[in-house]
């Protein structure tokens, strides 16, 4: 097996290779002056099980096209098997025609990745889709960082109240709370557009003086976290930790959360300063 780190996930790919006791190789990704990708495997892939690791952030379109080109090229060069590891799988939130004529891009992302023999990802955003197999036609492995996040919370904030900021976040909040033998408080969210959401914090919880961990799959603009945090502060919570599997962090999300006094933590599905939870071992176990 050879593990190649494509441009968004070189560090993670090296670490996965170490855990899997497999060979790591450079994969050269450059851009021509006009923006086209120029890609090159730095080791022969003939008769090899090739693992291509690339998260969909930053530049999700480049990440997708480079995974597809590399997969096809590995197939053409006689690879025995190609596994795509997209620790953060983009486009999954585009799972419905919200307005007439809108392209449901998740379907076409899935179609393109189906050229691999297998696709591995962590906590894909499954909301209207119930299974990854509804999006990607090839074999899929859906992993979850819940265990690693629970371990982190147990070690660092064992008494915190676990909060899920919206209905779908029960998949993280409830499972993590269960592992910690707590109950989660799952809130409801109404989204108006990508930066406007309304969330009401529950009144029947004794928040005063407590530490709170708000947990979700993705922090993107940060608004889903910001709304409950503002209310939790008014209710007198002591410390607030925002934990996401995928730290997409756009529009100064981290700065805005920190300004409210929150600590931001994520896994390394996307490599960030805030990546304090390592998913390399989790991935290595299924390769």
The catalytic residues are 189
| b/e burial code for range 242-272 (CB count within 10 A of at least 16 → b) | bbbbbbbbeeebbebbeeeebbbbbbbbbbb
Smallest distance from ligand R5P to CB 249, Å: 8
Q: Which of 67, 86, 145, 218 binds ligand R5P (CB under 6 A)?
A: 218
Contact at 8 Å (CB) between 143 and 195? Answer: no
Which lies closer to ligand R5P via its Cβ, residue 25 or residue 171?
Answer: 171
**What interhelical angle do 105-113 and 60-76 show, nearest 10?**
30
Which lies closer to ligand R5P via its Cβ, residue 251 or residue 286?
Answer: 251
Contact at 8 Å (CB) between 158 and 180? Answer: yes
Which lies closer to ligand R5P via its Cβ, residue 115 or residue 219?
Answer: 219
Strands 118-122, 139-143: pairing kind: parallel
Q: Which of 168, 178, 271, 278 binds ligand R5P (CB under 6 A)?
A: 168
Residue 5: asked if its preceding bond is cis (omega within 30°), the reply is no
- Residues in the interface with ligand R5P (CB under 6 A) total 13
Which lies closer to ligand R5P via its Cβ, residue 218 or residue 280?
Answer: 218
Q: Which of 219, 262, 264, 283 binds ligand R5P (CB under 6 A)?
A: 219
The closest of 201, 207, 132, 124 to 164, measured between CA atoms, is: 201
Candidates 8-16, 99-107, 212-220, 256-264: pick the segment binding ligand R5P (CB under 6 A): 212-220
Give CA angle at 269 (18, 119), nearest 5°: 80
Candidates 178-186, 215-223, 233-241, 279-287: pick the segment binding ligand R5P (CB under 6 A): 215-223
Is 216 a binding residue for ligand R5P by CB under 6 A? The answer is yes
Is 90 a binding residue for ligand R5P by CB under 6 A? The answer is no
Q: Which of 221, 267, 268, 269 binds ligand R5P (CB under 6 A)?
A: 221
Smallest distance from ligand R5P to CB 171, Å: 9
- Dist. CA 231–CA 199, nearest whole Å: 9
Candidates 8-16, 53-61, 150-158, 217-225: pick the segment binding ligand R5P (CB under 6 A): 217-225
Q: Give the DSSP H or E segment for 90.
A: none
Is 118 a binding residue for ligand R5P by CB under 6 A? The answer is no
- Helix/strand/coil for 246: strand
Is 166 a binding residue for ligand R5P by CB under 6 A? The answer is yes
The closest of 139, 172, 171 to 266, measured between CA atoms, is: 172
Which residues contact ligand R5P by CB under 6 A? 125, 166, 168, 197, 216-224
């Amino acid at each position: 097996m050879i593990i190649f780190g494509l441009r968004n996930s070189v560090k993670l790919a090296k670490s996965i290779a170490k855990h899997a006791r497999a060979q790591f190789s450079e994969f050269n990704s450059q851009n021509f002056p006009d923006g086209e990708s120029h890609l090159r495997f730095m080791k022969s892939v003939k008769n090899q099980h090739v693992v291509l690791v690339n998260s969909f952030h930053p530049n999700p379109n480049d990440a997708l096209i480079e995974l597809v080109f590399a997969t096809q090229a590995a197939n053409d060069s006689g690879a025995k098997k190609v596994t795509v590891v997209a620790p953060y799988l983009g486009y999954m939130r585009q799972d419905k025609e919200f307005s007439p004529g809108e392209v449901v891009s998740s379907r076409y992302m899935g179609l393109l990745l189906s050229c691999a023999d297998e696709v591995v990802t962590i906590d894909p955003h499954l909301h209207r889709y119930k299974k990854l197999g509804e999006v990607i036609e090839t074999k899929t492995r859906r992993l979850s960082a819940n265990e690693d996040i629970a371990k982190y919370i147990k070690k660092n904030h064992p008494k915190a109240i676990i909060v899920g900021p919206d209905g779908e976040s029960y998949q993280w909040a409830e499972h993590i709370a269960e592992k910690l033998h707590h109950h989660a408080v799952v809130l409801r969210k109404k989204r108006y557009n990508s930066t406007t959401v309304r969330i009401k914090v529950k009144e029947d919880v004794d928040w005063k003086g407590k530490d709170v961990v708000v947990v979700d799959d993705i922090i993107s603009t940060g608004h889903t976290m910001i709304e409950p945090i503002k209310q939790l502060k008014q209710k007198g919570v002591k410390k607030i930790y925002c934990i996401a599997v995928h730290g997409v962090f756009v529009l100064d999300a981290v700065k805005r959360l920190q300004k409210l006094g929150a600590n931001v933590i994520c896994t390394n599905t996307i490599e960030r300063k805030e990546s304090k939870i390592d998913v390399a071992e989790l991935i290595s176990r299924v390769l």
